[in-house]
Amino acid sequence: MNRAFLFIIGIFCVYTIIPTLVVRLFGIGVYKKGTAGRGIALTFDDGPDPQYTPLLLDLLKQHKIRATFFVLGSKAEKYPKLIARMHEEGHLVGLHNYVHWANALMTPQKVRLQLNHSVNVIESIIGEKPVYYRPPWGIINVFDFLLMKRFRVILWSIIVGDWRSYGGKRRIKRKLLSKLGDGAIIVLHDSGQTLGANHDAPTFMLEALHEFIVKTLSKGYSFLRVDERMSLDERFDYVKLSMKKRIFVYLWFKWDKLFHVLFGVKPVDPENPLLFYRVRPYHGKTILLSDGEKIVSGDRVIELHFNNEMLFRMAIGSHSIVHLAVQIIRSVKEVLPHTVKISNDVHYSNIKAIYGITMIHRGANQLGFTLTNLPRGWFSYVTSLYLKVLLYTIHPKGKTRLKVKSDALTPKVLAISIQELKKRHLNGLMKT
């Protein structure tokens, strides 16, 4: 490999690979997920399309949902009535370049010319200058950081490959529901004309989207435009994390996912992955439960684990640890019925109870759990240290919170017998 080739690779890394990794991994200078409240944002790229965009607008109107469209300037020029309709029906119109080229393959001047042309086209149609911008494929070059003074760069937290037809609507819907979480920014595509896309792919996207919207609304989520989603976050100034904590949070969540893989931890409800579980023998002192059952060493239990990324999203939208606890109780109550389904599995017929350890346990007894102190010893010490690091991670004022009433930050064992679980939560399973 000669020096000239290495030099070209190095330049390309500096020009686009490193900047793209910086914004994709750490979110520097871009917006990719909401941090306060449950509202989620639907965004659509690559349009407008004369066949599919009208159907999409009809669907959004049917459900009284406002969304965000990142349009191509060349298509806006060709189909101005669709852009006008988007604006008139309350949707946000943003930019997606003039044509669908990656910024990595263009000079800084070419990128600016594309954007300026697109801004002029859209402003001439709706009377407003678009300021929200999503670069194609989420790829930027190093000079695009200068654009951030003029545009709000929007990426995403959920992408499901809806530009492909394989798997039909079922694949798209399953992926959307499995990845859904508070503050999600979802990217979908209302055109199949982009390089690498299937022409009929939006047909399946629209079918999946209709069913996804119905299911998501039933779970208590709301839909917001990107600017509304950002405005909601800005009301919570304290959620603006330092770079140090942002990196720490990112690494922690990566460790979380690795833990799930290493120990075979699975979601209780794939469509609402707040709780994860694994089945294992219980090791510890005997626990006397409120209904008279006992858990003794060797009993098989369902061990529960929180989805710490979802906890983080809840926490940074919470005013206090009490508010966070209320949200957790409400959310856990939605998921618990699915543990009944797990306990009914023939492979798990000898499970005695559900078991977990947490420091956020306020109100757990309302759900039927028995709370006991973790026996003192090295395991208690390590668990307490781990959970304090977790609290630092998920709580926006984690460092301060660890200093306030630190004596109250004691891990508790939560447990409920299978019989009590079915008694309290079987009806919730039937409703789902």
pLDDT at 124: 96
Q: Judge whether 365 and 393 are in contact, CB under 8 Å.
A: no
Angular region, 179: left φ>0, alpha ψ -120 to 50, beta rest: alpha
Angular region, 395: left φ>0, alpha ψ -120 to 50, beta rest: beta
Beta bridge partners of 94: 70
pLDDT at 206: 97
Give the domain 3-235 fold: TIM Barrel (3.20.20)
Q: Judge whether 96 and 134 are in contact, CB under 8 Å.
A: yes
As a whole number of angstroms, the distance between CA 423 and CA 284 comes to 26
Q: Judge whether 122 and 76 are in contact, CB under 8 Å.
A: yes
Task: Specify the domain boundaries for CATH 3.20.20.370 within the chain.
Answer: 3-235
Task: Give this prediction's pTM.
Answer: 0.62
As a whole number of angstroms, the distance between CA 380 and CA 270 comes to 31
pLDDT at 432: 47
Look at residues 394, 235, 254, 406 and name the one whose alpha carbon lies nearest to residue 325: 394
As a whole number of angstroms, the distance between CA 361 and CA 13 comes to 47
45 assigned to active site: yes
- Catalytic residue (one of 45, 49, 162, 269): 45
Q: Can you say whether the dihedral through the CA atoms of 328, 183, 160, 190 is positive or negative?
A: positive
Q: DSSP for 248-305, please give it.
A: HHHHHHHHHHHHHHHTT-EESSTTSTTEEEEEEE--SS-EE-TTS-EE-TT-EEEEEE
- Catalytic residue (one of 189, 305, 361, 425): 189
As a whole number of angstroms, the distance between CA 197 and CA 168 comes to 14
Identify whether 48 is preceded by a cis peptide bond (ω within 30 of 0).
Answer: yes
Which stretches of the chain score pLDDT less than 50? 237-239, 401, 405-408, 429-432
pLDDT at 398: 55
Q: Judge whether 61 and 193 are in contact, CB under 8 Å.
A: no
pLDDT at 365: 80
Look at residues 418, 113, 216 and name the one whose alpha carbon lies nearest to residue 95: 113
Look at residues 420, 418, 390, 392 and name the one whose alpha carbon lies nearest to residue 404: 392
128 CB contacts (<8 Å, ≥6 apart)? 87, 93, 122
189 assigned to active site: yes
pLDDT at 75: 97
